[in-house]
Amino acid sequence: MAQVFVSYSHQDEPWKDRTIKHLKVFAGAGLEVWDDRRIDAGADWKAAIDQAIADSDVALLLVSADFLTSRFILGQEVPPLLERRQAQGVRVIPVILAPCAWDRIPWLCAIQARPRDGKPLSGMSRHAAEAALAALAREVADLLLAPLSGPAQAGFDREIEQRLADLEVRLEAAADPRLTKEVRRDIADAGADLSFAPARPRYLLELVIRDLYRRERPGAEPKPLFDTIDDLCAGQ
């Protein structure tokens, strides 16, 4: 089983959780994700972190000003990860969460970051950020996992199809023309799953999303699907 180590500031925990959610799409294919919330009560937490770093195949650095001012991260997590990168070729991927002076840190700016061009996730629409995290998860999976085929691919497709079917039911129940924040979050989550979805559930969910758009904006001109998702998520 391939392991991804996630290094992050606890101030950025919501972003860490969103990142891990996308990585867990590939859990059934053998991708394991480790962060410090997995440490058991009463365990030696420093030893657990050291062991996770030693076992990792890929490390994600969730970069923000909080990350770059954490003495523990910079002193205890980053150095062994960079050593393994140099000595063993472990892939270390900075993920830029929010604007900060990461491009002035010599060891950091020398490593290719995500999203592309170092564009911070915090400045994106919810859909664009989810799409960037989905792309990151696919990139990590491509690095570590053999392509899915046969029963594994079928199981993956069924999991995505079930999530989209559950979402379709929730969206169809959204009778109020003005969508709630919860429904808008559901739509944003759908944007990520649609990137992986088999043709039929993708088509059916697309119909539901376009119907919600027409109900909320009578007479509005049709838009491409992901532009429609962006507008609905933003409540524009």
- The DSSP 8-state label assigned to residue 98 in this structure reads S
Whole-number percent of the chain with pLDDT over 70 = 72
Amino acid symbol at 22? H
Per-residue confidence (pLDDT) for residue 236, from 0 to 100: 46
Per-residue confidence (pLDDT) for residue 152, from 0 to 100: 53
At 180-196, the pLDDT tens digits run: 777 677 676 666 556 55
Give yes or no for residue 69 having a pLDDT over 80.
Answer: yes
Where in the chain are the domains? Answer: 2-144, 150-234
Measured CA to CA, the distance from residue 155 to residue 175 in angstroms comes to 32
Global pTM value:
0.67
Whether 111 and 79 have beta carbons less than 8 Å apart is answered as no
DSSP 118-146: G--GGGS-HHHHHHHHHHHHHHHHHHHSP
Strand order across the 2-7 sheet: 31-34, 2-7, 58-63, 91-96
Give yes or no for residue 22 having a pLDDT over 80.
Answer: yes
CB under 8 Å to 65, separation ≥6 — which residues? 98, 100, 101
Topology of the domain covering 2-144: Rossmann fold (3.40.50)
End-to-end CA distance of the chain: give it in Å, rounded.
43
